[in-house]
Amino acid sequence: MSTIAASPTPTPADLRSARPAYKVTAARVLRSEWAKLWSLRSTWITLGLALLFLVAFGLIAAFQFKSRITSGRPMDRDFAQASALSLSLFGTNFAQLALGVLGVLVAAGEYSTGMIRSTLAAVPRRLPVLWSKAAVFGLIALLIGTAGVFATFVADSRILSSTRAAMTLSDAGVVRGLLGAGLYLALVGVIGVALGALLRSVAGGIAVLVASLMLIPGLTSLLPTSWQSHISPYLPSHAGEAMFALHHDTTTLSPTAGMIVFLGWTVLALTGAAVRLVRTDA
């Protein structure tokens, strides 16, 4: 009579040793955030809109300027003093809204769907999630913004070649201005991510973003003139504009000072988001 030997039952220790050991690393968190970002249809749509705003409004501004020059129609003071650089960056104000809103969605969208619980369960230390979201989206916004402004300037320089606004990439301040505009748009996207993580609400993050970039600068005009000169240059939008403006005066910051101030606002937003992420539950 034959007997069948019973196979030994695996112990929990054996099961644990048989599983592959996966460690949470910065590279893997970055790869995860990259995959999540491109899996959303809103990413493709909003990035496409940001690029469209940069190119379309820049070209429209250049054609309008040339049309008024050739027809002899009067132009307002700001438009009359425009250059190929300023006209090619005409769509920056519209593109910043698209990139900023998408940045808010990148962070706050996970809170609205509840996916953030799975994300933080996979990355218990939490902060690498925030840094990875900001880094991934900031890099994408930088590439989109920089490519858009350079492409628009090249096209505008050809349109305006026979006008007083004509400029080329070799002119002083042009490359610096274009790179500054790309960096500005990238930092706006990072601020959007920070506001989304801080407020954990898509509507709230967008409202604060729009107020910071558009409403508050307008409200400063109601302040006494002596106050405006001390407050206005340090607002996020005005400091950001100094990064890519061709000419500066006593009422605006220099490009370097504007970049430092805008980086300070970015760090402040990220710090607030990091503190809340660590101290409160999802």
| pLDDT for the residue numbered 25 | 84
| pLDDT for the residue numbered 21 | 54
| pLDDT for the residue numbered 185 | 97
* Rounded Cα–Cα distance for residues 206 and 127 (Å): 22
- The SS3 call for residue 178 is helix
The two tokens of residue 2 are 């034959």
| pLDDT for the residue numbered 60 | 94
Measured N-to-C along each axis, helices 174-199 and 202-210 cross at an angle, to the nearest 10 degrees, of 140
The two tokens of residue 38 are 């491109």
Alpha helices in the chain (DSSP H): 12-18, 26-38, 41-71, 77-80, 84-88, 92-113, 115-122, 127-159, 174-199, 202-210, 216-219, 225-231, 236-244, 255-279
- Structure letter (DSSP) for residue 213: I
Q: Which residues make Cβ contacts (< 8 Å) with residue 195, sequence separation at least 6?
A: 103, 104, 107, 108, 205, 208, 209, 269, 273
Task: Please work out, in degrees rounded to the nearest 5, the angle formed at the alpha carbon of residue 75 by the alpha carbons of 71 and 80.
Answer: 105
Q: Is the dihedral of CA 88, 155, 141, 173 positive or negative?
A: negative
Q: What is the mean pLDDT of each run of 10 residues along the chain (282 residues)?
A: 52 51 79 90 93 95 86 70 91 95 93 87 89 96 96 94 88 94 97 96 94 88 79 91 87 91 97 93 74
